[in-house]
């Protein structure tokens, strides 16, 4: 019954809508990133460059950690981007 009450609460509904909107924006951003990485991979392959650049990946995570103002922790950011980089490599193959 408490779950039903929470679902009827206008504040809960509004926050859930905002979370859903944010989740959609995250999915859109990931899809845009995958498209950009696919373009980069195509270009690098056409020039004989290696696709994966571990130094660039390390730099990117460090850059994002410096730019991060929280509440996401550095550990959380590293975990998300580790998974995002692995996902990208799987999706853009």
- CATH number, domain at 42? 1.20.59.10
Q: With a cut of 90, say whether residue 53 has pLDDT above it.
A: yes
Q: With a cut of 70, say whether residue 19 has pLDDT above it.
A: yes
CA distance 91 to 72: 25
Task: Look up the pTM and report it.
Answer: 0.85
pLDDT value of residue 48: 97
CA distance 92 to 51: 10
If one counts the domains in the chain, the total is 1
The range of the structural domain enclosing residue 26 comes to 2-91
Q: Which residue has the higher pLDDT, 90 or 2?
A: 90
Could you tell me the CA-to-CA distances from 32 to 36, 37, 67, 73, 84 in Å, in that order?
6, 9, 21, 24, 13
Query: Contact at 8 Å (CB) between 77 and 64?
Result: yes
pLDDT value of residue 1: 54
Mean pLDDT for 12-41 is 97
């Amino acid at each position: 019954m408490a779950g039903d009450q929470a679902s009827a609460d206008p504040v809960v509904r509004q926050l859930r809508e905002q979370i859903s909107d944010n989740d959609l924006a995250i999915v859109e951003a990931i899809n845009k990133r995958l498209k950009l990485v696919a373009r980069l991979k195509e270009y690098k392959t056409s020039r004989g460059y290696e696709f994966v650049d571990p130094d660039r990946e390390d730099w990117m995570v460090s850059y994002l950690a410096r730019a991060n103002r929280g509440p996401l922790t550095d550990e959380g950011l590293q975990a998300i981007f580790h998974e995002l980089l692995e996902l990208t490599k799987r999706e853009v193959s």
